[in-house]
Structure 1
Amino acid sequence: MDTDFLISLFTIIGVDIILGGDNAIVVALACRNLPIEIRNRAILLGLGLALVIRMGLTIIAVHLLEIPFLLAIGGALLIYISYSLLLEQTDDRDIQGGTSLWSAIKAIIIADFVMGFDNVIAVAGAAHGNSTLVMIGLFVSVPVIIWGSKLILKGFDRFPIIIYLGAGILAFTASRMITHEEMLAPLFSQHPFLTLAFQVIIILAVMIIGSYKKRIHSFHS
């Protein structure tokens, strides 16, 4: 495995860890009204079906990102997502918990479809068309959601710097999407220093501006 493959692999795993928390909350809310004895079944079935749907969406996204300038546009969108992660704005989405196995599974699938867009964009961008990386990223996301969510959320509360690390990972992924844009290849591929400088600037800008806006928001609230 070459260096670029390993960087993309660890980036995808990082993205899954950072963005898996919201989806874990969705699973918990969707299953909160179920009898204890069928909760695990609802979680496994719901996430299994959600994984199939997300797999299809990610593969589609990988091919869509081959359209000229769409990779750069996806990178710009991911910059906004990483910036928003730092702001920690209140999430007003209301996930209704089901009282039957199927209703809970349906809630998990719908919510994952709606909330998984950022993950799909990030994984597709970090994979750079490599289907193996896409599949690895998708299958890594499942145990993250099932077993790692509580640890992640506790980590965010106890060590706020993890949030900045997560935003930095997403910003790094976004900058690589832009620098790997084929239409911008003459600008970046022939100037490695410019590529590195651009990536550093994007990461620092997201973390500094996001931190500043977060402090302003906290001050006024």
Structure 2
Amino acid sequence: MHAAPGSLAQWLLAFLSIVFIDIVLAGDNAIAIALAARTLPKEKRLLAISLGAGVAVVLRIALTFVAGRILDVAYLKLAGGLMILWIAVKLLLDNTEEGDEPTAQARSVWRAIGLIVAADVSMSLDNVLAVAGASHGNLVLLLFGLGLSIPLVVFASNLLSALTEKYPLLVYFGAAILGKIGGELIMTDAAIERFVHPAPVLVWTVEIALALAVSAGPGLWRRRRA
């Protein structure tokens, strides 16, 4: 049975939309994964990235069936934003410890996978809804879109890990991006929007402030302790 031209065109459009969404959204997740894996010995990084991305996608598939209902639950995105901020600070501290071999050998693969999964799930509600919306209820397209994110994230994470090795200052830039994402989640939480009604300028201000705080705060705190 052949699909009607219109149906085929709609399917192709949905397919291309999902690919584009995955490419765009892979960057945010890849930053957290790259920073988490960077603390591992090189021979263990690909294993941690692959397992972390795989577990995260399985959780994304589960989230797909409830995301539309729970996204508007008060304080859910607020909690996710706070989680991202904590992960960003933790990853920055891990990646900027001084010494010959900071703590790379001491970082376990499972610890890195835990951070990867926590960061991915915290950032994935909107991502899941974007892919689910683009699939228009087509289960094959939906599973394809969620599955495609694995190789994209693995590739992007490995690339970013290599870049942070060559240019260590990128670690601070990555932490700032995670801080911005955390601020965005917090300011778009249903409870915040209901009680505060934040104007766009307030949202941007909070995002910038948290990006700066996450990227610069841990270093200042460490210096004060020293």
Q: Is the 8 A contact 1:17 1:141 kept in 2?
A: no
| Structure 2 gaps, min length 5 | 1-20, 96-102, 135-141
CA distance in 2, matches of 1:9, 1:49: 15
1:77, 1:20 → 2: CA distance?
Answer: 15
Note if 1:54 corresponds to 2:59. Answer: yes
Structure 2 partner of 1:3:
none
Q: Go from structure 1 to structure 2 and tell me whether the alpha carbon gap of 1:74 and 1:117 turns closer, same or farther (over 3 Å shift).
A: same
Deviations 1:69-91 (A, max 9, x none): 11111111111111222112646
Secondary structure of the 1:206 match is helix
Which residues of 2 match residues 65-214 of structure 1 at below 5 A? Answer: 65-88=71-94, 90=103, 92-95=106-109, 112=113, 115-124=116-125, 126-127=126-127, 129-132=129-132, 139-145=148-154, 147-186=155-194, 189=197, 191-213=199-221
- 1:128-160: CA deviations, max 9, x gaps? 843448975763342332x44443222112212
Q: Check the 8 A contact 1:164/1:207 in 2, yes or no.
A: yes
Aligned-pair CA distance for 1:116: 1.4
What amino acid maps onto 1:161 in structure 2? L
> Structure 1 vs Structure 2: percent identity of aligned residues?
17
Unpaired runs of at least 5, structure 1 = 1-7, 33-42, 96-106
Aligned-residue CA RMSD (Å): 4.1
CA drift at 1:10: 7.5
SS of the residue aligned with 1:72? helix
Counterpart in the other structure of 1:19: 32
Q: 2 CA distance for matches of 1:31 and 1:11? A: 22
TM-score when scaled to structure 2? 0.61
Alignment of 1:25-40 (within 5 A): 29=44
Give the 3 Å change call, closer, same or farther, for CA 50–215 of structure 1 in structure 2.
same
Q: CA deviation at 1:178?
A: 1.1
Tell me the SS of whatever aligns to 2:73.
Answer: coil
TM-score normalised by length of structure 1: 0.62
Could you tell me how far apart the structure 1 residues matched to 2:178 and 2:201 are?
A: 21
Residues in 1 aligned to 2:223 and 2:166: alpha-carbon distance in whole angstroms? 18
